[in-house]
Amino acid sequence: MDSNEVLDSSIRSASYNILLQIAFRIITFALNAFIIHYVDIAVLGLLNVRFYLLFSTILFVSREAFRRVCQSCSERDDWRKVINLVWLTVISTVISACVFSWIWLNVLSWPEGELAEKYRSGVLAISFSCILESFFEPVYVFSQAFMYIKLRVVIDSLGMILRVLGMVVTVYLAPQYAVEAGYFGQVGVSILYLCGFWGFFYYEFWRRKKNDEPALPIQSLSGFLPKFPAGEEVLDWHLAKLVWSFFVQGLAKQALTEGEKYLMTITSFLTMAEQGVFDIVNNLGSIAVRFLLLPIEDAAYFYFTKQLRRVPLEQQDEKAVSEASNVLFLLIRFMTLFGLSAVFLGVPIAKTVLALYGGETLTSSVGPFLMQLNCGLILLLALNGVTEGYATATVSKAELDMNSFFMVCTSGVYIVSALCFVYLYSSPGLVMANAVTLCLRIARSCYLINKQYEGTPYSPLKNSFPKKWEIFALMLSFVLCSFASYFVSSESFLPTWSPLVSGVLCGFGVLWVIVVNEPESLDIVLSKLSFLPMRVQSTIRALTRQHQRVD
C-alpha cells in the first residue's frame, strides 16, 4: 500500500467515523434532553458516569494496547502469532472485569434510594457485556488491518440504533425501568457486535472463494482461532513488548481521559444528581471532540504508523518524510483554528445553549461556567490529539517507554491539581486540572517532534499559528456574539435563541475566511471528496483564488 493509498484510507476512515459520531452525538443529545423530562437526573449520573466508567475502564485496560499494535500488521503473511496475541484479550478482559466489578461493588460507595437496588445487577451486566466483546477481538483487529471500514460503521450504527430505541421506548412507557434499559441494552449491543463481525467474515470468505477473488492471509473462520504448532514460537515477542509499552502508557492516558469521572466516583465529591448535571454539560462541551477530533486523531495515528517507521528520519524515504511533515503541519494548523473557533464562538453563547437544552436545571449554579471552560478545553484537546498521536506513532521504542513514564507522572500531576482545584472551585476544578495536564502533554509531544526533525530541512511546528485575517475574524465574532448574549440577558426585545443564531452566522463567516486563507488545505480536502462533482470543486477553487487576488 503506497503513501497515497494510506492517506486516502486514513481520510476515508476518518470521514466515516466523523459521520457516525455526528449521528451518535445528535441522537445522544436529543435522548438526554428527552430523559431529563421523564426521569430523575440521578439516573443519568448512574448510567453516564458510574456504569459508563466501568465499561470503558474494563475495555480500555484489556484491549486498547492490542488494537494499537496489531492493526498495523497488514503487511504480514503469517497472522498466526498475531491472532494468538490478540486472543490474550479474552484473558485480560475476564481478569479486568472481575477486578473492576469487585471494586465497583465493594470499594466504591453505592447510590442512594431506589438506585441502590439496581446497582449490583447493573455492574454485573456491564462486566458480562465486556467479556462478550472480547470474543470478537481477533476478527475486529483483522478487519481494521485490511481496511474493512464500512463493516465497523454499519455495526456501530446498528448498535447505536438498538441502544437508543430501547432506551426511548422504556423511558416513555416505563420510566422506572430506565436503569435496566441502560445496562441490558449494552448487553444486547455486545451480542450484536459478536454476531456481526463473525457473521460478516463467514460470508466474506464464502464470497471470495465463490468468485475466485485474491485470498486474504486468513481464509476461513478457523483461521481466527488460536493455534500452537509444536516446536514453534507461540507469540511474536516483539509485538508483545510493544503491547506492554502501550499498555503502561494507556493506563495513564485512560486516567487522564476519564480523570474527572474517576475522581467523582472514587471521592464522592458530587452527589449522583450533581454528577448527572456535570456529565451533561461536559458532553455538550465535548461534542466537537467526540465527533470530529477523535476520528481525526485515530486516522492521523493510522496514517503516521503506515507512513513512517520507528527509526531516525535520515534512514527513511525522503518523499515519505516530506509528505508526513506536510500533513502534520496542516493538521496542527487546522486543529489550532478549530480550537480557537470553539473558544471565540462558544464562550459567549454557552449559557444560551444550556438554557435551550435543559432549562434552569443546567443554567443554575456553575453550569454556564463549566460550559465555557469546556470550550477552552477543546483548543488544548485538539492540539494534544494530533501532536501526541504523531509522537506515539513514530518515536523509537526507548522514547515510547520514556513517554509511558511521563504519562504516569502526568497522571500524578492531574490528581494533585484536581484535588486542589476542586477544593477551591468545586466541579469546575476538574476541568481546570485537565487543562494543566493537557498543557504538559502538548509540551512533551512538541519537544519530541522538534527533536525528531533536528538535522532535516523540515519543521512541521514552525508557522503553524493561524494567519492575521483568521485571528481578526475570530475576534470580531467574539464581540458580536458577546453583544447578542448581553442584550438577551438584559431582557431586551431579542429572543432567547438570538446568541445561538449569531454564533452560527459568525461561524460560517469564520469558515469562509479560513477557506480563503488556506488554499493548500482546501486543495487536499477537495481532492479527497470524490462525491463532489468536478464542476463544484472547480467553482470553489475559483472563488477562493479570486478572493485571494483581491486581498
Task: Give yes or no: residues 85 and 209 share one domain.
Answer: yes
Q: What is the mean pLDDT of residues 1-13?
A: 55
Domain-located, residue 6: no
- Cα–Cα distances (Å) from 377 to 281, 388, 467, in that order, read 13, 16, 22
Residue, of 241 and 387, whose pLDDT is higher: 387
pLDDT band (50, 70, 90) for residue 531? very low
> pLDDT at residue 528 above 50?
no
Q: Note whether residue 386 is domain-resident.
A: yes
Residue length, the chain? 551
Say what the pLDDT of residue 34 is: 75
426 shares its domain with 544: no
Percent of the chain with pLDDT over 70: 83
Q: Over the chain, what is the mean pLDDT? A: 79
Domain boundary among 465, 493, 516: 465
- pLDDT at residue 190 above 90? yes
First CA to last CA distance, the chain: 41
> Which spans in 258-317 are helix H?
259-267, 272-285, 287-288, 294-307
Extended beta strands in 96-255, E state: none
Least confident of 195-199, 478-482, 538-542: 538-542
Q: Find the DSSP H helices in 37-113.
A: 41-45, 52-70, 80-86, 88-106
Counting the structural domains of the chain, the total is 3
Same domain for 302 and 215? no
Of 114-123, 330-339, 367-376, 398-407, minimum mean pLDDT range: 398-407
Instruction: Return d(Cα 331, Cα 322) in angstroms, integer.
Output: 14
Give residue 545's pLDDT. Answer: 52
What residue type is 269 in one-letter code? F
460 and 369 share one domain = yes
> Domain boundary at 417, 442, 465, which?
465
User: Does residue 196 sit within a domain?
Assistant: yes
Segment 2-12 shows an average pLDDT of: 56
Q: How confident is the model at residue 66 (pLDDT cuts 50, 70, 90)?
A: confident
Question: Within this chain, do residues 437 and 493 fall inside the same structural domain, yes or no?
Answer: no
- 488: containing domain: 475-550
Q: How confident is residue 94, by pLDDT bands cut at 50, 70 and 90?
A: very high
Q: Are residues 312 and 291 in the same domain?
A: yes
Q: Residue 548: left if φ>0, alpha if ψ -120 to 50, beta else—which one?
A: alpha
Mean pLDDT of 180-188: 91
Q: What is the pLDDT of residues 279-300, one digit of tens each?
A: 888 777 777 666 677 777 777 7
Quote the pLDDT of residue 194.
93
The reply to whether 241 falls in a domain is no
Residues 109, 156 share a domain: yes
Do the domain assignments include residue 25? no
Please tell me whether residues 400 and 325 are part of one structural domain.
Answer: yes
Q: Are residues 156 and 301 in the same domain?
A: no
Average pLDDT over residues 299-319: 78
Q: What is the value of pTM for the model shown? A: 0.67
Residues 197 and 292 both lie in one domain: no
Last residue of a domain, one of 465, 500, 520: 465
**Residue 490 pLDDT:** 57
Q: Are residues 381 and 252 in the same domain?
A: yes
Give the tens place of pLDDT for each residue, 403-441: 778 877 888 888 889 888 887 887 788 889 889 999 999
At 105 the pLDDT is 92
pLDDT band at 371 (very low <50, low <70, confident <90, very high): confident
Q: Can you spell out the DSSP letters for 52-68?
A: HHHHHHHHHHHHHHHHH
- Cα–Cα distance measured from residue 253 to residue 8, given in angstroms and rounded to the nearest whole number: 28
In a domain, 254, yes or no: yes
Residue 183, domain member (yes or no): yes
**Are both 428 and 485 inside the same structural domain?**
no
- Looking at per-residue confidence, does 529 or 511 come out higher? 511
